[in-house]
Structure 1
Amino acid sequence: MKDSDIRDIPKIYDSLLVRSKEIGFNMTSDKYIGTLLKTLISSKPSGRFLELGTGIGLSLMWMIDGLGADSYIISVDNDPKLVEIAEQNFGADKRVEIVCADGSDWIKGYKGSKFDLIFADSWPGKYSEIDETMNLLNGGGFYVIDDMNRQPNWPNGHASKASRLISSLEERNDITLTKLNWSTGVIIATKIK
């Protein structure tokens, strides 16, 4: 088995990578987390999903590829320029809502239905507002984070924050989790009902 042999890459992938380079956006998700998200989302054909940290839309692209006809995804980012790019590429899909907002404020103010999967790829939902984020997850739902192995773009001191996050997740009794030393370092947790 060769995990790098990923054959179902979304058509827009290459153009989004080019656009990332054009605007100097270097916090892109890799193909591995993309295909994992697509697989997990495909397991819930009428599910509701949340992405915290749209970025330029590389992970959102994979998530949309896995959406069922009756599924719905909300993606939140605080950068208007990135949200505009995501809207241009994905805004016509009625299953997709892209929100430009501060992630912390959005998490604290959200009053809608819970989610079957949350991909927390931003500070809010990953390093802050963790309890509030977990409360937005259905029982049996997935909480997914990546970039848990040291990354070249990490600022000084971030490694200790990542270690503390991992420890705090390990101590929770409302989830079961798996740590994968794969891709950029992935944690998948399932909320216990």
Structure 2
Amino acid sequence: MTLVDEAYARAGAHGFDLSCEVPVGRLLAALAAALPPGARVLELGSGAGVGTAWLAHGLLPRTDVTVTSVELDPATAAVAAEGDWPPFVDLRVADAVEFLRTAEHGYDLIFADCPGGKTRGLDHTIARLNPRGTLVVDDMTEIDGWPGDFTAAQRGVRRTLVEHPDLVTAELDFASGVVVSVRR
């Protein structure tokens, strides 16, 4: 069983239904595989570790990279921590925005998959993106029944990424809707 299979199984066993969709995971793995030596990856919102597993899948068998995944909820972080992670994966329990504010370096790939760093503190996420670094956000396709404030927040994220002068952005119409931005 692969890291990805194990992560989906773990999420299912714990009733965690907000995991990264397979098409988004494949995109993350492909982007991770293209990273230069010594790259740093940041995931905001570990959940049960599915996104983390896709990122690690794209990087293995390399060991010259770091993947830091930040989860706010300690119980959810404990689910992700059940995984048998490669040594380059660092799982942390922290508020994503506070983590971004105090991070000592930038990142070459950021997957923003929680409110912190996406709908709150997006400016901090963009500031931590290295030149030529890639930012991936999902859940960008509006769905009937979304609360009005969530819809407005997602529209704000899209607008910021599309209009930001330091970013080149593409909106991808698959899975839950993905926006990919690269820092100039």
TM-score (norm 1): 0.86
Residues 123 and 97 from structure 1, CA distance in 2 versus in 1: closer, same or farther, beyond 3 angstroms?
same
Task: Write the distance in 2 (CA, Å) between the matches of 1:30 and 1:153.
Answer: 20
What amino acid sits opposite 2:170 in the alignment? T
What amino acid sits opposite 1:99 in the alignment? R
Matched-pair contact (CA < 8 Å) for 1:90–1:96: no
1:121-168 alpha-carbon deviations (Å, 9 max, x no partner): 011111111121111111000010001013578444312221122112
1:88 and 2:82 aligned:
yes
Residue from 106, 122, 137 that aligns with 2:129: 137
Residue from 88, 92, 103 that aligns with 1:99: 92
What amino acid sits opposite 1:70 in the alignment? D
Matched-pair contact (CA < 8 Å) for 2:40–2:65: yes
SS at match of 2:119: coil
Aligned match of 1:124: 116
1:31 and 2:22 aligned:
yes
SS at match of 1:157: helix
SS at match of 1:89: coil
Residues 56 and 186 from structure 1, CA distance in 2 versus in 1: closer, same or farther, beyond 3 angstroms?
same
Aligned residues: 181
Task: Write the distance in 2 (CA, Å) between the matches of 1:149 and 1:102.
Answer: 25
Matched-pair contact (CA < 8 Å) for 1:48–1:117: yes
Residue from 151, 154, 159 that aligns with 2:151: 159
Task: Structure 1: state its 5+ residue gaps.
Answer: 1-9
Residues 65 and 12 from structure 1, CA distance in 2 versus in 1: closer, same or farther, beyond 3 angstroms?
closer
Task: Write the distance in 1 (CA, Å) between the matches of 2:146 and 2:77.
Answer: 23
Residue from 63, 66, 69 that aligns with 1:72: 66
Runs of 4+ residues over 2 Å off in structure 1: 12-24, 150-157
Task: Write the distance in 1 (CA, Å) between the matches of 2:131 and 2:68.
Answer: 19
1:21-73 alpha-carbon deviations (Å, 9 max, x no partner): 33221211111011100100110142110000000011110100112320111
What amino acid sits opposite 1:100 in the alignment? V
Task: Write the distance in 1 (CA, Å) between the matches of 2:132 and 2:43.
Answer: 17
Overall identity of the aligned pairs, in %: 29
SS at match of 1:39: helix
5 Å matches for 1:178-193? Answer: 178-192=170-184
Task: Write the distance in 2 (CA, Å) between the matches of 1:48 and 1:18.
Answer: 27
1:74-117 alpha-carbon deviations (Å, 9 max, x no partner): 000011122122222144x2201100011121111212x21110
What amino acid sits opposite 1:95 in the alignment? F
Residues 180 and 149 from structure 1, CA distance in 2 versus in 1: closer, same or farther, beyond 3 angstroms?
same
Task: Write the distance in 2 (CA, Å) between the matches of 1:57 and 1:107.
Answer: 20
Matched-pair contact (CA < 8 Å) for 2:14–2:79: no
Residues 34 and 153 from structure 1, CA distance in 2 versus in 1: closer, same or farther, beyond 3 angstroms?
farther
CA RMSD of aligned residues (A): 1.8
